Amino acid sequence: MRGLYRRCSLWRTGREAPNSLFFFSNALCTDTNNIDGVQGSRIKVFDRHFRRKQIDRAAWLMRSKDSFVDAVAENLLDRLEDCKKTFPTALCLGGQLEAVRRLLHGRGAIEKLIMMSASYDMVKLCRNAERELQTENIETSFIVGDEEFLPVKESSVDLVLSCLGLHWTNDLPGAMIQCRLALKPDGLFLAAILGGETLKELRIACTVAQMEREGGISPRVSPLAQVRDAGNLLTRAGFSLPGVDVDEFVVRYPSALDLIEHLRAMGETNALLQRNTILKRDTALATAAIYDSMFATEDGTIPATFQVIYMTGWRDHPSQQRAKRRGSATVSFQDIQKQFGSET
């Protein structure tokens, strides 16, 4: 059994209609090379074709309930309860779609939900799981599409949700800009991505094992965004009222092999374009042994850290609060200090 604890710092299917599955082509997508004057990234870090295969595999290996994934999805959806605004039309984008749909429980007053994944198998899994949700009357649609080429019309949805998916895009700012364009004015963007401190124990064990066995290192864990980058990403994508907060989860496993099995079930294994496709047996065994010797706890389990960065942003609308023009203040802090200072 895995243990989990957390350290916190701040398409179309109605109940009366059969499920439908639609496919979109990239011809409907926005050109991400130049959106709103922002030059898109031409650097390819991740192998998107291999990434689809990973999600296909995860759809078959995925557990019915995963404590870590459920915790992240629950925390993401909790933010909808903090909003008085309702979101009639929502887009759930890649990542852990099934957990988000299962844990939605009417939050956000969503009436139409579009669920999109790059994997046909994952979309099929979510479509089949939808039949078991008899308590919510939400018109649900399913799309097979790529987060990097969003097949959604501009200003067509009130809410964009992404749970553990956007950190696999080659052009994250471009993907976020497309999300903003898909939103209606005063629409909400909510996303959870893995942060740079994720799997730090595995990174260390892999590095030491490769140095010992191979005399050099190659990337075995994908690069991830740092917390300080998240706010810049929201600002660069053009979101207003940006907000970022972080959760850190520590999941305990019987062994490093159980950790790798869990990563495969989540579709979170290495998808680097320049990855080394060969892992020697002795290097793998050495990694597991080093992991155990350096990080094992008294009960024999090993910890794995998952840093989750939550990003919140709104599409611009005149009703949103704005900072006053600089120099427009009518009262100085010095006067306030004198007033309150005299009272004390």
Residue 207 forms part of a structural domain: no
Note the pLDDT of residue 35: 45
Q: Decide which of 84 and 10 is more confident.
A: 84
Over the stretch 136-193, which tens digit does the pLDDT of each residue have? 688 999 999 998 998 899 999 999 999 999 999 999 999 999 999 999 999 999 999 9
Closest CA to 140 of 127, 124, 151: 127
Judge whether 181 and 152 are in contact, CB under 8 Å.
no
Ranked by mean pLDDT, the top range of 218-222, 244-248, 333-337 is: 244-248
Token reading at 114: 């579009």
Whether pLDDT at 94 is above 90: no
Q: At 132, phi and psi to the nearest 5?
A: -85, -15
Residue 15 forms part of a structural domain: no
Within 8 A by CB and 6+ apart from 218, the residues are 210, 275, 276
Over the stretch 197-214, which tens digit does the pLDDT of each residue have? 999 999 999 999 989 888
Closest CA to 79 of 50, 59, 108: 108
Strand ranges, E, within 154-238? 157-163, 183-194
Residue 6 forms part of a structural domain: no
d(Cα 211, Cα 293) in Å, to the nearest integer?
Answer: 16
d(Cα 186, Cα 180) in Å, to the nearest integer?
Answer: 10
Whether pLDDT at 270 is above 90: no
Domain of 123 in residue numbering reads as 48-198+224-250+305-315
Residue 212 forms part of a structural domain: no
Residue 139 forms part of a structural domain: yes
Residue 87 forms part of a structural domain: yes
Q: Which residue has the tokens 């030491």?
A: 208
CA 282 to chain centre: 34
Q: Reduced to 3 states, what is the DSSP secondary structure of residue 301?
A: coil
Whether pLDDT at 78 is above 90: yes
Judge whether 169 and 102 are in contact, CB under 8 Å.
no
Token reading at 7: 């350290």
d(Cα 289, Cα 287) in Å, to the nearest integer?
Answer: 5
**DSSP secondary structure, 196-265, as one string:** TTTTHHHHHHHHHHHHHHHSS----S---B-HHHHHHHHHHTT-EEEEEEEEEEEEEESSHHHHHHHHHH
Residue 126 forms part of a structural domain: yes
Over the stretch 295-317, which tens digit does the pLDDT of each residue have? 999 999 999 999 999 999 999 98
Whether pLDDT at 235 is above 50: yes
CATH number, domain of 167, equals 3.40.50.150
Whether pLDDT at 6 is above 60: no
Over the stretch 44-54, which tens digit does the pLDDT of each residue have? 889 899 999 99
Whether pLDDT at 22 is above 70: no
Q: At 114, phi and psi to the nearest 5?
A: -105, 125
Whether pLDDT at 135 is above 80: no
Token reading at 161: 């949700």
Q: Decide which of 333 and 179 is more confident.
A: 179
Range with lowest mean pLDDT among 50-54, 317-321, 340-344: 340-344
Whether pLDDT at 238 is above 50: yes
pTM: 0.82
Number of structural domains the chain divides into: 1
Residue 214 forms part of a structural domain: no
Whether pLDDT at 40 is above 80: no
